[in-house]
Structure 1
């Protein structure tokens, strides 16, 4: 840190720096503290340090340097309890970040595996809610808390959905696991009303609920009435097992979950079923289609993990050593022509965006496929806005 350096926001020019009055003014303004510049926003994140040994790290998804190559450590203003981190972000940017406080300094090694293990442990145990941030934090699979950023007010949301949903428990006989499932019906159904199943469903029914937007779009006639099932992922380990090309999990969805929910909703066997997943969930949805091409009439694949190459849980793909993208061509022919496939990827995703376009080229050779690049990165905040737009397209 430069001698006598202070962040450029005007609040750092006050004489009562670090006092209770100063911290209260920070809370009134809200973080990150933003200074508008010509091409970008200069953003300052703050943390009130509790002890002299506390170290604070941040990862601004898709924007800050990767923590696998560089630790993004907060700097301290001397003789105060203020620590801060500065970064420039695009105008009207929406996304997420994680804050970690630790009593141990991050390992000074270039070994990506060691860095990853340390960081993931911190995310599970020491990820923090930014109390100065005006938007509610939400839990995620890897981090116990994720914080929101919305520099463009038109995209901001407070997740204050008053729409009620029903909670059930699916007791899988094939998997010997009980999965929570949230159910929602937007209006009285017809025989052609679609049925949407969301992997990582707790994100979309609870943590970053899309129910209010679904209801509003249905009420104004921009979406048809539909039924929705939000299948919870229990924890990171079970999620990785289930979503990582596990034949038995896809079988359980088709042979157990879908009939169970069809009976609950009193749905016709001909009801069109749409399966939706993000990241590893996108891989799972596509793998399920390859196994059961007649079970689904639509897929929504957001930022799929098509780099996957572990097929130890798949007799269907057994023997392959390539990544999923290189394997898929051998299994495309059975896909029926009535299936709609929507591939989505973010502008800030590099490898995954390229993989998504490769997947589009492969799938579009055997049937009509849609692809769209949304503004953002590998981030639930960005998935949410794109998911609502995609649902409106497929259910309109």
Structure 2
């Protein structure tokens, strides 16, 4: 494994060695039959090895040439790659695959740092006629084309897509942090998942809430204090419909508990319902935090043995859900003593129209201003929340904004960790780092290397290189 902490993580166009060799072979082919044979041999190799093609570069040992492929046909006019952290939504034409003349091969190569992980989808444009010459019109056509994207047929690694019955493809380069707890593992005790309709009075609605309870075969942790005997640590997680209905988070939790690195715990995860509702309710909104703290948690605590300790209660989310988790931890520390904010939408601020996104150049995030203005001291002498950030290096100004917020939170007595990883705004990254964060915040304290005999390895057993772009360590603390 190479040490690439000082290597530029920015994607750069590149022609990979395999495509370059194929071009030379096609140029030297005697006739059309020989070219067809070379093309078929290329696709057979791609089917055998899988895609995208990942190749070493002699002049860039900390990088890999990553080549995305599409097998076209006579009607194929253009092929668009959509990959968080690689595709620029404002310049979609830059992510159009190139056609290798005289073949059905479409390709696009990027030089990526060797710890990159991400999801992607592709779509072929089979509309008649040439592409618009006007860049603005071409951008408009490609924007419309995105809705029809799907998984790479030659890549078996998949992840569900939100809100629709589709999948994205996933790739992970050799130095990407491992994700040992994702996916179903055979022969481990299974927890239970239930879906309940819960009255959300503060929202004026009823919300479905996913409930995960640990396997009966695994005993509860010993008491931490009087009254806590047999009570479960708790995770309150935004976007339950994605995490449980689509991503199968229960399999990850089962594996973590079976490996002994996470105690048996419960999870409460309300549905996001849909895009419009999610935009209206999530963010720094008191109403939704009240729903979580004053309705969902008490409802569940009346039915199952859940902890009442804030330091054993985690609130977590991604994007707008990450913003919600931060707001909950800051304003309700007596309920939520630990926060996992993955790619939080720090552009959010009161007064934005639903669905609007504030530009990156907003200066100090609103939440940092709010945190700085909160009164000193916490209710009942409570400690500051433990706050963990996961931030992709390809998420615009988010790294800068979380750094600003981190400084304010520490000054207010919160304990903050931040993991900068080589990825984008992407569930392909979040699902692995969520497991790591839970181990860090409410884990058993077992060295994760001890879990290797049962198939698990975690943060302590990983190489520290390439995770944050910082010398010698994967996270800032």
Query: Per the shorter chain, which TM-score range?
Result: 0.7 to 0.9
Question: In structure 1, how many angstroms separate the alpha carbons of the residues matched to 2:141 and 2:332?
Answer: 39
Picking from 98, 107, 117, the partner of 1:94 is 117
Q: Deviations over 1:29-59 (max 9, x none)?
A: 2101122113221121111224525422113
Which structure carries more relative contact order (alpha carbon 8 Å, separation 6+)?
A: 2
Q: Which residue of 1 aligns with 2:79?
A: 56
Residues 1:188 and 2:215 are matched in the alignment: no
Q: Which residue of 2 aligns with 1:387?
A: 434
Residues 1:281 and 2:309 are matched in the alignment: no
Contact map agreement 1:94 1:152 (CA 8 A) in 2 = no
Q: Which residue of 1 aligns with 2:341?
A: 301
Question: In structure 1, how many angstroms separate the alpha carbons of the residues matched to 2:438 and 2:24?
Answer: 45
Residues 1:139 and 2:161 are matched in the alignment: yes
Question: In structure 1, how many angstroms separate the alpha carbons of the residues matched to 2:111 and 2:427?
Answer: 21
Residues 1:148 and 2:170 are matched in the alignment: yes
Contact map agreement 2:115 2:422 (CA 8 A) in 1 = no
Q: What is the root-mean-square deviation of aligned Cα atoms in Å?
A: 3.5
Picking from 24, 31, 37, the partner of 2:51 is 31
| Alignment of structure 1 residues 247-262 onto 2, 5 Å | 247-262=286-301
| Alignment of structure 1 residues 220-235 onto 2, 5 Å | 220-235=259-274
TM value normalised by structure 2 = 0.69
DSSP 3-state at the match of 2:167: coil
Q: Which residue of 2 aligns with 1:178?
A: 207
Q: Which residue of 2 aligns with 1:355?
A: 401
Picking from 84, 101, 111, the partner of 2:107 is 84
Shift of 1:362: 0.5
Cα distance, 1:107–1:264 mapped onto 2, change above 3 Å: farther
**Range with greater deviation from structure 2 (53-62 or 40-49):** 53-62
Picking from 127, 150, 161, the partner of 2:149 is 127
Cα distance, 1:6–1:110 mapped onto 2, change above 3 Å: farther
Q: Which residue of 2 aligns with 1:43?
A: 66
Cα distance, 1:341–1:392 mapped onto 2, change above 3 Å: same
| Structure of higher CA gyration radius | 2
Q: Which residue of 2 aligns with 1:165?
A: 192
Cα distance, 1:177–1:126 mapped onto 2, change above 3 Å: farther
Shift of 1:183: 1.7
DSSP 3-state at the match of 1:265: coil
Picking from 6, 13, 36, the partner of 1:16 is 36
Contact map agreement 1:127 1:145 (CA 8 A) in 2 = no
Question: In structure 2, how many angstroms separate the alpha carbons of the residues matched to 1:300 and 1:333?
Answer: 22
Structure 1, unmatched stretches of 5+, are 315-320
TM value normalised by structure 1 = 0.82
Shift of 1:210: 4.4
Cα distance, 1:120–1:267 mapped onto 2, change above 3 Å: farther
- The count of residues paired between Structure 1 and Structure 2 equals 381
Cα distance, 1:32–1:240 mapped onto 2, change above 3 Å: same
Structure 2, unmatched stretches of 5+, are 1-16, 27-34, 222-227, 355-363, 444-477
Contact map agreement 2:346 2:365 (CA 8 A) in 1 = no
Question: In structure 2, how many angstroms separate the alpha carbons of the residues matched to 1:370 and 1:304?
Answer: 14
**Range with greater deviation from structure 2 (126-135 or 250-259):** 250-259
Contact map agreement 1:245 1:311 (CA 8 A) in 2 = no
Contact map agreement 2:114 2:174 (CA 8 A) in 1 = yes
Picking from 328, 331, 334, the partner of 2:371 is 328
